[in-house]
Structure 1
Amino acid sequence: MDEHRDKWRKFYEKALNRPHSKRTEQAVKLNMSSQKVAVDCGCGTGSDIEYLNSQGYLVHGFDLNPDSIAICRERFEGNSQVYLYESSFDRFNYPKSGAVIANASLFFVEKVHFQTTWKKITSCLEIGGVFVGDFMGKNDSWSSHYNQAITSLTKEDIAALFTNFDIIQLQERDEDGTTMLGESKHWHIYSVVAIKRA
């Protein structure tokens, strides 16, 4: 097993006990569309899927990492309201949705695919639907020193992505910290909650 995959496996082992994101709760509360369908982009071990499903959502979860999908298939075996896919952001076929969740995942989209991916995400959301997710800022140590392509954006870049949305929350984290595996890094993350208006 290569070192990169081994790191992800260790991450998933720790993430299995992690609760769903509070922003995922916001997506459910704020969704004013007629769709009780959600997409979890980069679904990891499925904590957000589990919450969305408990709220009566049909959930489509995808992740490029086969270990993630194997964990989720075991976790949601026999659940007809959860669909799982081993896929990248740019290849995924996004269904019409009332919520798109992209917690700590969108920055793994390669820059060359980012605009196309973003168009797919915004197109799948119904008016009144909610996007919640994270974008990587330019000061993040991973934006220039990571073992795969990362898309980092400025605050202005991010604002330009949401011209057809009402931004409910935009939080910036720009500080030294550690990863879930205890490695030191500088975090620069923008976390967004937004409702599609047109």
Structure 2
Amino acid sequence: MLEEHQQIWRDYYAKALQRRHLPRTELAAKLNESRTRVAIDCGCGTGSDIHYLAELGYQVHGFDINSDSISICRERFANQALVELYQTSFESFDYPKSGIIIANNSLFFANPDGFFDTWQRITDSLEIGGVFAGDFMGINDSWASEYRSPTTPLNETQVRELFRQFGIVRFVERDEQGQTALGRIKHWHTFSVVAVKRSIGG
């Protein structure tokens, strides 16, 4: 079972290596009003967003729980002084003060028992004027109850409540059948958010 799980991720990374950074990562960089040129990529995968942000001159901290991901990124960014990589989890990562935090399709897999504490640490590390861009799993998603490890599904009200300190720039709900990166069909229910931090606490 473990070997099958690892192979699924390897197949995913092989596909992901062919992809460019997401357009919303460009949007996050444009929206960053903080003076902090530090970015965090949570669940960095093969590093497409790391590459883009480092090209802009950001000091980028990328982490992923999967060793294959970090091995790929260490090879890819071996000569990049602006890139720091860590094999760790959402719960264990030491979040530095940052101007951009990216969490593309990764917060789904944060430990549900500590999700709100993790989210607090993420938002605390983001400077005023900094930008969060990422995805949250909705309650109708197939993986909300049928995934091989625990996930953190949220409803729209819960997701919006996470952003009380923010000005939401983009909020997109997806609730439909669709393919995974490996071509498998599942029901997707996600909330994709881009938001600028406006206040501390609250």
**TM-score for both structures, normalised by structure 1:** 0.99
1-structure distance, mates of 2:124, 2:50: 21
1:142 aligns with 2:143: yes
Which aligned pairs between 1:1-198 and structure 2 lie closer than 5 A?
2-198=3-199
1-structure distance, mates of 2:144, 2:3: 22
How big is the shift at 1:116? 1.1
For structure 2, list consecutive stretches of 5 or more residues without a partner in the other structure.
Answer: none
Aligned alpha-carbon RMSD (Å): 0.6
2-structure distance, mates of 1:133, 1:180: 17
What secondary structure, in the 3-state scheme, does the structure 2 residue paired with 1:144 have? helix
Post-superposition CA distance 1:90-144 (Å, at most 9, x none)? 1000000000000000010121110111011000000000000000000000100
For structure 1, list consecutive stretches of 5 or more residues without a partner in the other structure.
Answer: none
Q: What is the percentage of aligned positions where both structures have the same residue?
A: 58
2-structure distance, mates of 1:54, 1:88: 25
Post-superposition CA distance 1:24-73 (Å, at most 9, x none)? 00110000001010000000000000000011101000000000000000
How big is the shift at 1:19? 0.6
What secondary structure, in the 3-state scheme, does the structure 1 residue paired with 2:186 have? strand
How big is the shift at 1:78? 2.0
Cα contact 2:143–2:151 (8 A) shared by 1: yes
- Superposition misfits of 4+ residues, deviation over 2 angstroms: none
